[in-house]
């Protein structure tokens, strides 16, 4: 009962910003941007569905070569056929939850002639049940956080990220309900595990990871954390059916949810990357409630993730 009331309070707090209403209000201030992305390379995780698909199709339509990564080769094949320029859409089937598969993907991307201009760390799963990957890690932690850390850092170490480009972490408003807690983040036992709480930790951690990368890389490339708002996707349909049923009429389209990622990756001059979480081309505060402040710091988080990945040989 308390949990249901807390959820109700949470969603009521953010409704006017995260639903289609928030987008409709903020886009009145937008300036058109028409950057031609010819010559750029975009790597998008989770490109075969939901927001990733919308980002991939839009970047491809504007001239970019899109490296589209997701598990299902069949879905990626459908995506390629839907693209404006299929010859510039490269399907990369891989499983982000497996560190070894992520390293292999990074090596494949690094071997390409052009570096990645914009990397969108987009995959995110909200799992209801505790599951372990074949490498022994809790699956949503491995997918949402560790896989993206390994991919991003392997690409940067291989000089495969354009220093003038951008890394965009697709976080979520779910992070407003979590204080970063490294023990909770790496909890590996099923007893009492809560998929929603785990997801909120991962999404908070993505904001801190952007900060850690900006500190370590000094803006080459720039890292951003963003929130897409509430968009009608397969992920929402599967993980939050009650939420979708309640808000269906006011959810955003995938194209609307994708807008901020495209804008962060293309707008010139690029926005200052320091801090905040971007929504509808505006930098929002990282905290809404006092109880989420004072969590683990960005450098400790990055260190923990690097050590966790290093244990998987």
Give whichever of 37 and 137 is closer to ligand NAP, judged by the CB atom: 137
Q: Which of 11, 15, 33, 199 is catalytic?
A: 199
Record the tokens describing residue 120, joined without a space.
């969108």
φ, ψ at 164 (rounded to 5°): -90, 5
Record the tokens describing residue 147, joined without a space.
């896989």
CA angle 104, 106, 111 (to 5 degrees): 100
**Member of 60, 97, 117, 214 binding ligand NAP (CB under 6 A):** 97
Looking at 24-32, 34-42, 92-100, 157-165, which segment touches ligand NAP (CB under 6 A)? 92-100
Give whichever of 141 and 230 is closer to ligand NAP, judged by the CB atom: 230
Looking at 8-16, 69-77, 181-189, 295-303, which segment touches ligand NAP (CB under 6 A)? 69-77
Number of residues in contact with ligand NAP under rule CB under 6 A: 30
**Is residue 69 classed as helix, strand or coil in its secondary structure?**
strand
Give whichever of 160 and 168 is closer to ligand NAP, judged by the CB atom: 168
**Is residue 304 classed as helix, strand or coil in its secondary structure?**
helix
Nearest CA to 229 out of 4, 89, 24 is that of 24
**Member of 60, 172, 214, 256 binding ligand NAP (CB under 6 A):** 172
> Which positions ≥6 away from 93 have C-beta within 8 Å?
69, 70, 71, 72, 73, 76
Q: Does the footprint of ligand NAP cover residue 266 (CB under 6 A)?
A: no
Give whichever of 41 and 143 is closer to ligand NAP, judged by the CB atom: 143
Query: Quick check: is 199 catalytic?
Result: yes
Please answer whether residues 80 and 68 qualify as being in contact, where contact means their C-beta atoms are separated by less than 8 angstroms. yes
Q: What is the nearest approach in angstroms of ligand NAP to the Cβ of residue 133?
A: 9
Q: Does the footprint of ligand NAP cover residue 75 (CB under 6 A)?
A: yes
Judged by CB under 6 A, the chain residues 190 through 249 that form the site for ligand NAP are: 227-228, 230-231, 233-236
Q: What is the nearest approach in angstroms of ligand NAP to the Cβ of residue 175?
A: 9
**Member of 22, 91, 115, 124 binding ligand NAP (CB under 6 A):** 124
Name the burial class of residue 215, with classes exposed (0-12), middle (13-18) and buried (19+) by CB atoms within 10 angstroms of its CB.
middle
Sign of the CA dihedral with 86 first, then 89, 92, and 93 last:
negative
Please answer whether residues 24 and 281 qualify as being in contact, where contact means their C-beta atoms are separated by less than 8 angstroms. no
Q: What is the nearest approach in angstroms of ligand NAP to the Cβ of residue 36?
A: 26
Give whichever of 219 and 250 is closer to ligand NAP, judged by the CB atom: 250
Nearest CA to 138 out of 194, 77, 91, 216 is that of 194
Give whichever of 161 and 198 is closer to ligand NAP, judged by the CB atom: 198
Looking at 4-12, 32-40, 50-58, 290-298, which segment touches ligand NAP (CB under 6 A)? 50-58
Nearest CA to 279 out of 224, 241, 236, 238 is that of 224
Name the burial class of residue 196, with classes exposed (0-12), middle (13-18) and buried (19+) by CB atoms within 10 angstroms of its CB.
middle
Q: Does the footprint of ligand NAP cover residue 123 (CB under 6 A)?
A: yes
**Member of 70, 167, 209, 212 binding ligand NAP (CB under 6 A):** 70
State the catalytic residues: 199
Using CB under 6 A as the criterion, which residues of the chain lie in contact with ligand NAP when the complex forms?
45-46, 48-52, 70-72, 75, 95-97, 122-125, 143, 170, 172, 227-228, 230-231, 233-236, 257
């Amino acid at each position: 009962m308390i949990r249901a009331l807390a959820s109700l309070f949470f969603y009521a707090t953010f409704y006017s910003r995260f639903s289609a209403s928030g987008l409709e209000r903020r886009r009145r201030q937008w300036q058109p941007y028409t950057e031609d992305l010819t010559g750029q390379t975009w790597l998008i995780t989770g490109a075969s569905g939901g927001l990733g698909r919308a980002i991939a199709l839009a970047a491809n339509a504007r001239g970019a070569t899109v490296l589209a990564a997701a598990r299902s080769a069949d879905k990626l094949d459908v995506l390629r056929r839907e693209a404006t320029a299929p010859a510039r859409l490269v399907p990369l089937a891989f499983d982000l939850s497996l560190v070894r598969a992520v390293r292999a993907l990074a090596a494949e991307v690094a071997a390409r002639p052009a570096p990645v201009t914009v990397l969108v760390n987009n995959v995110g799963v909200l799992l209801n049940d505790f599951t372990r990957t074949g490498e022994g890690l809790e699956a949503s932690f491995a997918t949402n956080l560790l896989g993206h850390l390994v991919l991003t850092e392997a690409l940067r170490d291989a000089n495969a990220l354009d220093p003038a480009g951008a890394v965009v972490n697709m976080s979520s408003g779910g992070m407003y309900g979590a204080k970063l807690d490294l023990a909770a983040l790496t909890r590996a036992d099923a007893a009492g595990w809560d998929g929603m709480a785990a997801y909120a930790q991962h999404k908070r951690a993505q904001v801190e990871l952007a900060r850690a990368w900006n500190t370590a890389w000094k803006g080459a490339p720039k890292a951003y954390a963003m929130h897409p708002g509430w968009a009608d996707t397969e992920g929402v349909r599967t993980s939050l059916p009650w939420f979708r049923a309640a808000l269906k009429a006011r959810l955003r389209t995938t194209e609307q949810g994708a807008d901020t990622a495209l804008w962060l990756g293309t707008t010139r001059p690029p926005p200052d990357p320091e801090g905040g979480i971007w929504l509808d081309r505006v930098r929002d505060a990282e905290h809404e409630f006092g109880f989420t402040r004072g969590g683990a710091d960005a450098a400790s988080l990055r260190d923990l993730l690097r050590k966790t990945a290093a244990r998987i040989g």
